[in-house]
Amino acid sequence: MNERRKLINWMAGVTTFIVVLLIVIVLLDREEDGVSLAAASRTVALTLESGNGILENAPETSNFDEDLSDQWYVKYMDYLYGQGYLDSGSVKADERSATSAVTYAVLSDWAKKASEEGKGEKDALLSYVDSGDRAKKAVSSENFWKFYDAFRAAVDPDRAVAEVETDLYGTPDNVDGAPAWTAYTRDGIFQFEGLYLDGYIDQKIRFLARDDEILKVEEMVSDEIVYENAWISGFSGKTVTVFIGNIQREFPVKGVLKDESEISGQIGDLYLKGGTPKRLVLKKEKITGTVLAVRDTEIEIDGYGSVPLADQFKIYRTYGVLREQQKKDILVGYHMQEFVVADGKICAALTTEKPDIDMIRVLIMTNGFKSLFHDTITLSCDSMAVLEYGDEKDAKTESIAAGETVTIKPGDSRVASGRLTFRSANEGGMITVHSLERAQGMPVYPGHMEITEESDGLLLLNEVDLEEYLKRVTPSEMPPTYELEALKAQAVCARTYAWRQIQGNAYSTYGAHVDDSTNFQVYNNTLTFDSTDTAVNETFGQLLEYNGDPIEAFYYSTSDGHGTDGSVWGADASNTPYLRAVTINNKAKKLDLTSNEAFESFIKDENTDAYDSDFPMFRWNTKTTSTILDEKIGGVGRITGLTITSRGAGGYAKTLKVVGTEGSKTFSGQSRIRSILGNVSLVYNRKDGSTSTGWDTLPSGFIYIENNGTDENQVTTFTIYGGGFGHGVGMSQNGAQGMAKQGKTCQEILKFFYDGCGLMDISEVN
């Protein structure tokens, strides 16, 4: 018996010894385990600059050999070499250096560099400077992260690096086909190059991130998580397939389901502990109806009113390729979702079918397009009309005689409980808005009207058939006397633009897609005409497409003889390759007009060959003074100089330097420059000898500025030479007219202005 007890005690002692030894080994390993220079460089680089900024500042020639160009760490180390944080003389740009542990010497260089740049507390950083025997030694992981915390505090006062707490769904370790270094979380997709995350799957973690880049995992917060409102996409009897964060996961379901019938195609909450499922709660209650508005915390659904959203509200597209969507994908005015409800809140929206885009919802602005919010709205209909209001529990209907007016003011009891609808009782009835004035006079609208009360006043919304909308956009955007082929090109552009705006859902909070002003497309400002109706009818349902997708069909009034591309708004022009910066003539040649000398010669030439060269705004000039400029520019003293310091594709003004007696300022962006230099008092001399005035902004950003000197009153005069009217991207409307007058067809016009694009039917859009 004693021998057996001795054996047991001996085994227990050995076990204890082994456990203690393992703990010691782990502790020693943790102390000695360093962080690779590659991983440390990534963390430091992303603390100093965003991922996009690192790519933009990449050297023309990498410090690394070409055979390492595809390694993830190259861009970060190249950035640090370029910024002076790494010295290629002491730290070689090779694989061995990158994969070796970061040393105290490197930390010392980083601390000195940040200190030299005046970032943060100098003493806090310099405490990490070490030029002694320890300089070449590897830094332990613990000490590196202590250094990093001090470094981040010093160089990131604006907190570009933020703390994120979220659930980790997956990594390439458990997601087939996932790109390398990709983490799927409750808060979106992140990149984690050089870090280890696989051990945190199905756990709540806290990490530091800049944009979508994880820099450091701080801790595992909990191994108990709930995948709320997940889509159950499959069930085998032993496992359930769950769609979360745009990835498919399989979990064993034995013992976690009480009811195993009708599981697939349901929404549920999956509870896990330590990565093991403990419970699956299905949510089966659904409601359907037309979406009237999408707000931050609620969705307004016809027949149900405004229903609040659950905290972890999800949207899934269940037709075609299953994928998670965003709130902006819920189109107002359409009935294509089922809404899963639990505890009086919408847990998930299921997009069950592709919408047939056949109507658009337009906010009607006040007189002069000054505001969305009306003080009074007065309506009538040319046939019997119906007024509907009240909530789903107390809906009311009033009959309105033909020609009888209805006036709504803020505080009216009929809009107190929500949306009021005014519609014709007969198909084709037209509604007059007596409280509005447009170029046509008192405007008349097809479709129906909706009125809601907001804190700033009343909103007036017109829901109308898309083709009827276009019949009132086309003559408002292009003179109806223009050639039919030009009008047809305009109709196709307007339809394509409208389709994009419907998808964009800019006014979903108010239940609309667009407004009726130049913010989008001018709608129903003028009467309809046979010519523009014909243009819309003959292009029925046609959209402009590039590689099968509807394009950004931008258009503008008049060119200066050369267009520009999508970079005019700061975007990457490669995203819209069909928008070309070329001459607006049959040569379609790309000229280099980015220097002031080249652009001056071009803009002063009134005989430039272009399809729209006969139009008055093709060339214009105006004079302004330092006194006029002072109204919008301050802080530089008396203005003495204006210089375009950089130009974009086609020569538009990209940056403007204003010099004064007490300093200077630089303004960026063509819209900003047009606004700064514009003034309602300026008189524009046009190519045909006529003049125009009253514009608060310059007609275009294609300008050259001459200093005409300072008079005895210390007033400096400038002449601005310009060309064109509008932003210069896409189709010149007057260029289209010029082409049509030369016999070009609608298709030829569109092909010229939107390179590589074709026509598709709206029903063919995926």
pLDDT digits (tens, 9 = 90+) for 181-198: 999 999 999 999 999 999
Residue holding tokens 């609620």? 298
Can you give the pLDDT at residue 391? 75
Q: Mean pLDDT throughout 509-530? A: 96
How many whole angstroms separate alpha carbon 613 and alpha carbon 226? 65
Can you give the pLDDT at residue 5? 53
How many whole angstroms separate alpha carbon 27 and alpha carbon 36? 19
Q: What backbone phi and psi angles, to 5 degrees, belong to 64?
A: -95, 155
How many whole angstroms separate alpha carbon 201 and alpha carbon 84? 37
Q: Mean pLDDT throughout 354-364? A: 93
What's the chain's Rg over C-alpha atoms? 33
pLDDT category at 6 given cuts 50, 70, 90 is: very low
How many whole angstroms separate alpha carbon 107 and alpha carbon 90? 13
Residue holding tokens 């009811």? 259
Question: What's domain 224-283's architecture?
Answer: Beta Barrel (2.40)
Q: Are 97 and 72 in contact (CB under 8 A)?
A: no
What is the rounded end-to-end Cα distance, in angstroms, of the chain?
A: 80
- Judged against a pLDDT cut of 90, whether residue 23 lies above it is answered with no
Reduce the DSSP state of residue 28 to 3 states and report it. Answer: helix
DSSP state of 139: P
If we measure between CA atoms, which residue out of 675, 717, 724 comes closest to residue 703? 724
Please list the residues that pair with 191 across neighbouring strands: 182, 213
- Judged against a pLDDT cut of 60, whether residue 122 lies above it is answered with no
Sign of the four-CA dihedral 448, 329, 520, 613: negative
Reduce the DSSP state of residue 164 to 3 states and report it. Answer: strand
Cα-based distances in Å from 613 to 480, 607, 652, 687: 20, 8, 18, 9
- Judged against a pLDDT cut of 80, whether residue 14 lies above it is answered with no
Burial of 745 (0-12, 13-18, 19+ CB in 10 A): middle
Q: Are 171 and 183 in contact (CB under 8 A)?
A: yes
Can you give the pLDDT at residue 30? 35
Can you give the pLDDT at residue 257? 62
Give pLDDT tens digits for 40-57.
999 999 999 999 999 988
- Judged against a pLDDT cut of 80, whether residue 607 lies above it is answered with yes
**pTM, rounded to two decimals:** 0.80
CB atoms within 10 A of CB 166: 18
- Judged against a pLDDT cut of 50, whether residue 12 lies above it is answered with no
How many whole angstroms separate alpha carbon 445 and alpha carbon 248? 48
Sign of the four-CA dihedral 537, 538, 539, 541: positive
Residue holding tokens 């909103």? 459
Q: How far is CA 46 from the centre of its chain?
A: 22
3-state secondary structure 528-547: CCHHHHHHHHHCCCEEEEEC
Reduce the DSSP state of residue 74 to 3 states and report it. Answer: helix
Q: Mean pLDDT throughout 360-373? A: 97
Buried b (16+ CB within 10 A) or exposed e, 223-236: eebbbbbbbbbebe
- Judged against a pLDDT cut of 90, whether residue 99 lies above it is answered with yes
Q: What percent of the chain has pLDDT over 70?
A: 92
Q: Mean pLDDT throughout 418-442? A: 95
Give pLDDT tens digits for 481-498.
999 999 999 999 999 999
- Judged against a pLDDT cut of 80, whether residue 33 lies above it is answered with no
CB atoms within 10 A of CB 734: 29
Give pLDDT tens digits for 131-185.
566 678 899 999 899 889 989 988 888 889 999 999 999 999 999 889 999 999 9
- Judged against a pLDDT cut of 80, whether residue 127 lies above it is answered with no
Identify the residue with better confidence: 569 or 208.
Answer: 208
Can you give the pLDDT at residue 26? 32
Q: Which pair of tokens denotes residue 408?
A: 């709504």
Give pLDDT tens digits for 432-477.
999 999 999 999 999 999 999 999 999 999 999 999 999 999 999 9
Which residue type does 163 have? E
Q: Which pair of tokens denotes residue 89?
A: 């003389």
How many whole angstroms separate alpha carbon 516 and alpha carbon 470? 12
- Which residues, including other chains, have CB under 8 Å from residue 227's CB and lie 6 or more apart? 167, 169, 242, 244, 269, 270, 272
How many whole angstroms separate alpha carbon 119 and alpha carbon 694? 49
Q: Mean pLDDT throughout 389-406? A: 90
Query: In this predicted structure, which of 17-21, 246-250, 381-385 has the lowest mean pLDDT?
Result: 17-21
- Judged against a pLDDT cut of 70, whether residue 124 lies above it is answered with no
Q: Mean pLDDT throughout 683-698? A: 97
Can you give the pLDDT at residue 9? 47
Give pLDDT tens digits for 315-324.
999 988 899 9
CB atoms within 10 A of CB 626: 22
Which residue type does 688 have? D
Identify the residue with better confidence: 108 or 343.
Answer: 343
- Judged against a pLDDT cut of 90, whether residue 128 lies above it is answered with no
Reduce the DSSP state of residue 388 to 3 states and report it. Answer: strand
How many whole angstroms separate alpha carbon 345 and alpha carbon 379? 36
Query: In this predicted structure, which of 233-242, 618-627, 688-697 has the lowest mean pLDDT?
Result: 233-242
Element (H or E) spanning 454, and its range? strand 448-454
Cα-based distances in Å from 542 to 127, 467, 470, 746, 759: 68, 11, 12, 12, 6
Reduce the DSSP state of residue 116 to 3 states and report it. Answer: helix
Q: Mean pLDDT throughout 96-111? A: 92
Q: Are 759 and 542 in contact (CB under 8 A)?
A: yes
Q: Which parts of 607-750 are beta strand (E)?
A: 620-625, 639-647, 653-660, 663-668, 683-686, 691-693, 703-710, 716-722, 731-732
- Judged against a pLDDT cut of 80, whether residue 547 lies above it is answered with yes
Q: What percent of the chain has pLDDT over 90?
A: 78
- Judged against a pLDDT cut of 60, whether residue 76 lies above it is answered with yes
How many whole angstroms separate alpha carbon 99 and alpha carbon 104? 16
- Judged against a pLDDT cut of 90, whether residue 112 lies above it is answered with no
- Judged against a pLDDT cut of 70, whether residue 120 lies above it is answered with no
How many whole angstroms separate alpha carbon 374 and alpha carbon 510? 14
